[in-house]
Structure 1
Amino acid sequence: MQEAMEDKENVSVVDYKMVTFSLAGKDYAIDIMQVKEIAKTGRFTYVPNTLPFVLGVYNLRGEIIPIIDLRLFFNIDIPTRDDNSVENMLIVSVGDQLFGVVVDAIDKVIGIQKSKIQPPHPLFGDINIKYIYGVVECQDHLYILLDIERIFNARISAKDKDNGMDNVYVNSSVGEVMPTQMNTQAVSHTASKPDAAALKQETASEQDYKFVVEELRNLKKFYVSDINEEWVKARFNQWSSEKGAGNSQLQSEKDADEFLGPFWSKCNGTWWTKQYADEVYKLLPENNAKQIVVWNPGCGKGIESYSLACVLKRRYPNSKIRIYAHEIDLLNVSNAPLLSIPDTNANDWYSPYVTKKVSGEYTFNQEIKDIVMFEYHDCTNSNSLPMVDIVFARDVLSMLPVESQNMVVGDFDEKLKGNGIIILGAGESLGKGSNWGEKTVDSLTYFNKQ
């Protein structure tokens, strides 16, 4: 009787369900609330220039979804794939996007007490600990509970924030960022104030400026350094004049968005206007090389990379062009090759570079698609890029901690050819008196080695 009562009590406190599956003989699980359905299929449509772990796309009752092989994503060895093989697949929901996730085998649904989920430990599993939500023991199995939102670099949901999980991780994506699209995982709080004795030796304006610098970092992950300090100081003076004495501090994300509004480069995160495309075209120097290599870190959803590809094709029609478009937002980098173009833009300056699909939607033609290689890569980590002719990194450096900024600029220096150029954001510079030359054409500026 007592055992029956204990069993009943255990059932009554189940407040978390997970779908369990295996990878390389080990047990894993995903929150059932993120699993829409389970499928068995192998009829994927290959998409060129995608990452190795992207198997292709799949038509799920009329909706085209990307298919990710979780084993390849985690660098787990898998048997040679038969073209006719059928894969075990979880259809998961991340935000408003559906993905197919291929695994070795799908087991069952298990109900547990959420309080029994333990923090992850590096010894659990063969995958990076940052992708693990926790571990839980159930029915003589130790399950590694994956953090799907982190794997796909999604924002933490409001529900998770309510549960006090807003500090679980920091999203360091440095893709195409607009004030309304910025990743804001940082805890919103007022910056700590300097020591009182030090304040006496500073003017009120200097104090307010220091507060603004701290608030930009805390509220928006915007890091002030030599790269953008000239713009920030000029903007602060304008901001102080507009707001009045004593009202220059940033009290909220809305204030920070307003402050940074003029910082973002033209057409950042949006389709390029003909005027901006012409400005980039005029900025590009003469280059008779047979092959032109471009590094585009923080490529976002792919709009920037494809727009740049069109301009480069026009500027260097006789050269073979390759753009290495890097991004750490898996949602963006997986969907980029499938990017459609609105009719208005397709019939504008983009028209020579697009084609119309059977569905009536416009997409870039194969020549442009072959130029861009989208890769899941963090620009703060080392990479095996060849020497490049152009670095196109608008508004990217300012979203990195200062130490990382210096490291990435060092990579630019190492990877850039002697006659190469660097194009940064409108509010960014490689610094006066540095070893970089600077040339401005109309409203745009590029930097080169002196």
Structure 2
Amino acid sequence: MENTDYTDLQQNDNYDLMQDSMDDKDNVSVVDYKMVTFSLAGKDYAIDIMQVKEIAKTGRFTYVPNTLPFVLGVYNLRGEIIPIIDLRLFFNIDIPTRDDNSVENMLIVSVGDQLFGVVVDAIDKVVGIQKSKIQPPHPLFGDINIKYIYGVVECQDHLYILLDIERIFNGRFSAKDKDNGMDNVYVNSSVGDVMPGQIKAQSQAPKAEVKEAAKPAAPKANASDQDYKFVVEELRNLKKFYVSDINEEWIKTRFNQWSSEKGVGNVQLQTEKDADDFLAPFWSNCNGTWWTKQYADEVYKLLPENNAKQIVVWNPGCGKGIESYSLACVLKMRYPGSKIRIYAHEIDLLNVSNAPLLSIPDSAANDWYAPYVTRKVSGEYTFNQEIKDIVMFEYHDCTNSTSLPMVDIVFARDILSFLSVESQNIVVGDFDEKLKGNGIIILGSGESLGKGSNWGEKTVGSLTYFNKQ
């Protein structure tokens, strides 16, 4: 490892990188803020020097399986194992094919009590500025999500994009947010993981909220309020199904039906089978199974016009991959001239690992899927390479922050209701943040975002989608 100790750089004005920033003293009258500058894809970026501990040149990283694509692995830094993040991949910037023997430029940054290695194109120098010169960020200043930008500053004929490194690694809140009371955040050892149980006050987040029904309204059936409350509680205990604004309308309707079916005195859910029977109508059509041509046609008609060259889709809760590949086929029909990318996320490691190897039964392969399948030497059917290249399966929990690009479609059927209400708040907030202005969200048939929120709702046939108003 070719390494330069950077720990005491903040106090060492004789360091050669620091000296570069002081060559033109006329440009800065009072230096009260110093930043380390570097480049990504030909653009100038910077990080607060107080968060940079070292600079290094190395390429011998230890690969760790089942991590996010921008995690290159881990590195032994004088006995401390630290994760290595490629900032270019994090921001979806194209990079040349990496040579196994190549040496990378790396900044060792400190976030809280943890160190991370950050790989960049090139490290330039340390620049001293007046903090008052830092301007608010604007989307035009970078090819990255504006939430990761602390500000922009012009110095020595360069326009630097100053990154908010705490927000990048904390995933949701930054140092600036802490000033507003959102400081109870725990940073996991995996970059960007925010433990939802540690977020103190969802009411402070500027996202669309999903409020739990503290006192559910009485259903119209001839059953007591207490019976309804017991049903809500047992769905949570037996099936981890959480009643909130997202599904309360469906729950009330189903409770009325259930009360009529069971009769007075037999409404409560005693066993897991009772809960399964209660939730049986909740599941969306073709959930976990091969899509029928009728359902595929319904999804096709639901998808709006979109002339973009690239269509980006987020499919959390992709299961064994049937839904992701089925959606890929419909999207290919609907947008034949666009490049399509589906980010399929799942917390079941076995499912997400086996999804790319998915075989198709003869009945489905000879149905509407036929143009998108190929036959293997063994005689089994599988999806052709064009469809497989559309879907990127990743082991990821949607309640934790993810570095997705802005998306055109969120396809998340029947998963929100099985998250705690606090986690529902987090995920819906991510939907709001990552969805393009003309994007749509497709949820399960028993779930909704439209009631009492800033989401618009449109029904096409038997399906409904939600968009930003």
Q: Which residue of 1 aligns with 2:339?
A: 320
Deviations 1:214-239 (A, max 9, x none): 00000000000000000000000000
Partner of residue 418, structure 1? 437
Tell me the secondary structure at the aligned position of residue 359 of structure 2.
coil
Q: Does 1:349 align with 2:368?
A: yes
**Is residue 392 of structure 2 the alignment partner of residue 384 of structure 1?**
no
CA RMSD of aligned residues (A): 2.2
TM-superposed CA distance for 1:73, in Å, is 10
Which SS does the other structure have where 1:395 is aligned? coil
Alignment match, 1:370: 389
The farther-off stretch of 428-437 and 363-372 is 428-437
Unpaired runs of at least 5, structure 1: 1-51, 55-67, 79-193, 195-202
AA in 2 matched with 1:317: P
- Cα deviations across residues 123-168 of structure 1 (Å, max 9, x unaligned)? xxxxxxxxxxxxxxxxxxxxxxxxxxxxxxxxxxxxxxxxxxxxxx
- Paired with 1:385 and 1:367, the residues of 2 have a C-alpha distance of 22
In the alignment, structure 1 residue 246 sits paired with structure 2 residue 265: yes
Counterpart residue number, 1:405: 424
Instruction: Check the 8 A contact 1:390/1:420 in 2, yes or no.
Output: yes
The one-letter code matched in structure 2 to 1:409 is V
Which of the residues 386, 393, 415 maps onto 1:396?
Answer: 415
Letter in 2 for 1:274: K
Cα drift, residue 246 of structure 1: 1.2
Pairwise CA distance, 1:76: 4.4
Aligned position for 1:303 = 322
Give the share of equivalent positions with the same residue, in percent: 86
What is the CA-CA distance between 1:434 and the residue it aligns to? 1.2
1:314/1:53 CA distance change after superposition, 3 Å: farther
How many Å separate the matches in 1 of 2:390 and 2:303? Answer: 17
Give a deviation string over 1:251-280, Cα, whole Å, max 9, x none: 000000000000000000000000000000
Distance 1:338 1:265 in 2: 25
**Distance in 1 between the 2:450 and 2:463 partners?**
16
CA distance in 1 between counterparts of 2:367 and 2:450 reads 36
Deviation digits for residues 92-136 of structure 1 (CA, Å, limit 9, x no counterpart): xxxxxxxxxxxxxxxxxxxxxxxxxxxxxxxxxxxxxxxxxxxxx
Residue equivalent to 2:296: 277
Distance 1:427 1:406 in 2: 17
Aligned length: 262
For the 8 Å contact 2:223–2:264, the answer to whether it is kept is no
- Deviation of 1:408 (Å): 0.4
Corresponding residue to 1:268 among 287, 302, 306: 287
> Following superposition, which runs of at least 4 residues in structure 1 exceed 3 angstroms of deviation?
72-78
TM-score computed with the length of structure 1 as normaliser: 0.56
Residues 450, 466 of structure 2: 8 Å contact kept: no
1:430 aligns with 2:449: yes
Quick one: distance in 1 between partners of 2:341 and 2:461? 26
Contact 1:226–1:431 under 8 Å retained in 2 = no
SS of equivalent residue, structure 2 residue 224: helix
Q: Deviations over 1:337-387 (max 9, x none)?
A: 000000110000000000000000000000000000000110000010000
1:210 to 210, 223, 229: 229
- Tell me, what secondary structure is at the counterpart of 1:426? coil
Matched, 1:226 2:245: yes
TM-score, length basis structure 2: 0.54
In the TM superposition, what are the counterparts of 1:189-208 in structure 2 within 5 Å? 205-208=224-227
Please say if residues 238 and 272 of structure 2, whose CA atoms lie closer than 8 Å, have aligned partners that are also in contact: yes
Separation in 2 of the partners of 1:331 and 1:223?
A: 26
Distance 1:53 1:341 in 2: 31
The one-letter code matched in structure 1 to 2:418 is: M
